Structure 1
């Protein structure tokens, strides 16, 4: 408990806010190329062998990549229970659509090659495309709605009331954010296919990936302009203790135009996050054109990290603002679990995250190399 005494409640809350960002980035970077590859499947693969090459490029690793999604959901549940309650109940139908897509993906992987009927395989290919496109779009739409503010309120006894609808989530700004998400994951999927495949598949992936990289830059810029021009931010207007109780209603907050850019004005070094989003995508574009495989995958990963970090940098200390009652908005300082809970979770995280990273790194090392189309034809060593 001596270590616990050295890490106060404020630092623990800040650490878990940062860890939440790390887990989201880990999911977007690892499972992101799985989703992007699924979206590219009908376009980069023109025949059955080429599509099997694409599927087998992610087949051995996609399940392991899902770990980051599980960790992220678990972290939200344990470290930020109010965030979990509001988001998973308010976005229930959206989350259900993502869940259905993620359940269909392993079914498609397993069943696609069970029969040689072209129509059978074409249907499962469509499922793989949908199971890549739908989560990529909805995750981005969710972020767009978080930036706009979510229509929820809290009663004095902390009961949550969500007053929005599913179709209300599909507003223009949120859809624009969804398109940013789709574009950046297609770029990442193309970078992965350039790394893992060769011949016509890699060539087509480079073409589509180049378009996606340009679209990422353009759409991300449009989203930033829209957020500055039309999307109001939120600002806490009362003194908020950083080690106070987890009760959002103890503060006051207002909606204010340009508030999401206040952190950048106060701390100019935060501009590094959106700059990384733009520069990473441009380097990935150059890497695709120059066929620099490792550079491209690293650059696309950095672009994804920068885009996600820019959202966190804009909103801090807000985690989930309320468009109905700004006072009920959840912040880093008033919506976390207890001091002891955060500390115990941090100890567990310090032990297990390095193990997960080490194991994942070993798996990727063992599976390093390109998927061979000839081996696919001969049924040698490929499961899908």
Structure 2
């Protein structure tokens, strides 16, 4: 028996569906508080010193946190090539807006303190706000559009074709439900950033972060509940109508897909997946309570649990779909027909088993070294601070 055949094609597909989810959740848990902190910067810090404190809470870690985003994109490219092709071309303008916003973050960190001018520094503070708020919003909009379905189809030779105008590739994404998902994403990461600042700062910055984070958490929970209700009564789901072949060739056109009903039918078929939204609501509720009562470590951990539950609920609700098509449901991409080959998935899994523990160990070591609060004395007395 060939080595890679010790793990079946079906199991490898599920493993890589789960691993991509883990990478995206890892990105939200780590770089999410960076984005939330950036979006909070103009509001939680009033003086220049306070703003430098806020910036220095994430300055040493944001680059490492962003690695999760790169890993997630790379995993999608290697494990799910059709998904990469359709999503990165169909969401091209949105992706460009996200990348442009993210580019402002390193530039803002490096250039903000190069001049003493208050207007210069204020300008870069708002650039850091954009670098945090815009990606947080648009990532949620993208998830909302995935749930709604995307207007693409596959040709007979499996070339993806995105229907719609050039400008429609951005404006067409701004549908009401998708915007609600964006609000949930933004408010969720604002709460996460506030939890981080509660842990890493003190004084008025911490007090303001707790206040804003509490409101953001309530908005996130309310928006998440409204999105669930909307999915139940106002959004058509997708389902595989014919026989499901879990270990066949990667050809989405071999499946028969229907568009109708509700996504929430998945909870009747697999009741255990209800644990994800329960985690989402419980995590947010406890994070809000922690922010109100002044808890620090536990608040950040509860915030992470809430984010994990919310993101996991999307993937578990849609399974086995990963990108449904509204114009040609049979072109919809699923776990069973949009992956790379059996051998490719196996080789990637071996590489992941070797390098992922190293990444996790290094990340844990970095956070251990950087443990503790950032104070005003730290940023005014250290020449290496931002």
User: How does the TM-score come out when normalised to structure 1?
Assistant: 0.98
Counterpart of 2:371 in 1: which secondary structure? coil
In the TM superposition, what whole-angstrom CA distance separates every residue of 1:257-296 from its partner, at most 9, and x where no partner exists?
Answer: 21x1122111211101001110000000111112111110
CA contact (8 A) 1:322 1:329 kept: yes
In the TM superposition, what whole-angstrom CA distance separates every residue of 1:224-279 from its partner, at most 9, and x where no partner exists?
Answer: 11111100000000112100010000111111121x11221112111010011100
For residues 77 and 59 of structure 2, the distance between their equivalents in structure 1, rounded to whole angstroms, comes to 29
For residues 381 and 269 of structure 1, the distance between their equivalents in structure 2, rounded to whole angstroms, comes to 53
- Residue 260 of structure 2 is aligned to residue 241 of structure 1: no
Superposition CA RMSD, Å = 0.9
Q: Which residue of 1 aligns with 2:376?
A: 373
Counterpart of 2:337 in 1: which secondary structure? coil
In the TM superposition, what whole-angstrom CA distance separates every residue of 1:187-206 from its partner, at most 9, and x where no partner exists?
Answer: 00000000000000000000
Q: Which of 161, 169, 173 is matched with 1:169 structurally?
A: 173
Q: Which residue of 1 aligns with 2:69?
A: 69
For residues 379 and 147 of structure 2, the distance between their equivalents in structure 1, rounded to whole angstroms, comes to 45
For residues 73 and 336 of structure 1, the distance between their equivalents in structure 2, rounded to whole angstroms, comes to 14
Q: Which residue of 1 aligns with 2:31?
A: 31
Q: Which residue of 1 aligns with 2:192?
A: 188
Counterpart of 2:46 in 1: which secondary structure? coil
Q: Which of 250, 254, 260 is matched with 1:256 structurally?
A: 260
CA contact (8 A) 1:191 1:206 kept: yes
In the TM superposition, what whole-angstrom CA distance separates every residue of 1:341-375 from its partner, at most 9, and x where no partner exists?
Answer: 00000000000111000000000000000001122
Counterpart of 1:312 in 2: which secondary structure? helix
- Residue 385 of structure 2 is aligned to residue 383 of structure 1: yes
Q: Which residue of 2 aligns with 1:56?
A: 56
Q: Residues 290-329 of structure 1: matches in 2 within 5 Å?
A: 290-329=293-332
- May I ask how many residue pairs the two structures share in their alignment? 382
1:3 Cα deviation from its structure 2 partner: 4.7
1:383 Cα deviation from its structure 2 partner: 2.2
CA contact (8 A) 2:88 2:95 kept: yes
Between stretches 220-229 and 3-12, larger displacement belongs to 3-12
Q: Which residue of 2 aligns with 1:211?
A: 215
For residues 256 and 194 of structure 2, the distance between their equivalents in structure 1, rounded to whole angstroms, comes to 46
For residues 244 and 185 of structure 1, the distance between their equivalents in structure 2, rounded to whole angstroms, comes to 39
CA contact (8 A) 1:375 1:381 kept: no
For residues 220 and 159 of structure 2, the distance between their equivalents in structure 1, rounded to whole angstroms, comes to 39
CA contact (8 A) 1:248 1:328 kept: yes
For residues 280 and 2 of structure 1, the distance between their equivalents in structure 2, rounded to whole angstroms, comes to 44
Q: Which of 175, 183, 192 is matched with 1:179 structurally?
A: 183
CA contact (8 A) 1:233 1:256 kept: yes
Q: Which residue of 1 aligns with 2:226?
A: 222
CA contact (8 A) 2:4 2:342 kept: no
Counterpart of 1:169 in 2: which secondary structure? coil
For residues 381 and 297 of structure 1, the distance between their equivalents in structure 2, rounded to whole angstroms, comes to 29
1:139 Cα deviation from its structure 2 partner: 0.3
Q: Which runs of 5+ in 2 are unaligned?
A: none
Q: Which residue of 2 aligns with 1:198?
A: 202
CA contact (8 A) 1:243 1:333 kept: yes
CA contact (8 A) 1:56 1:382 kept: no
Cα gap change, 1:140 to 1:50, in 2 (>3 Å): same
Q: Which residue of 1 aligns with 2:84?
A: 84
Q: Which runs of 5+ in 1 are unaligned?
A: none
Q: Stretches of 4+ moved more than 4 A in 1?
A: none
1:216 Cα deviation from its structure 2 partner: 0.9
Q: Residues 140-151 of structure 1: matches in 2 within 5 Å?
A: 140-151=140-151
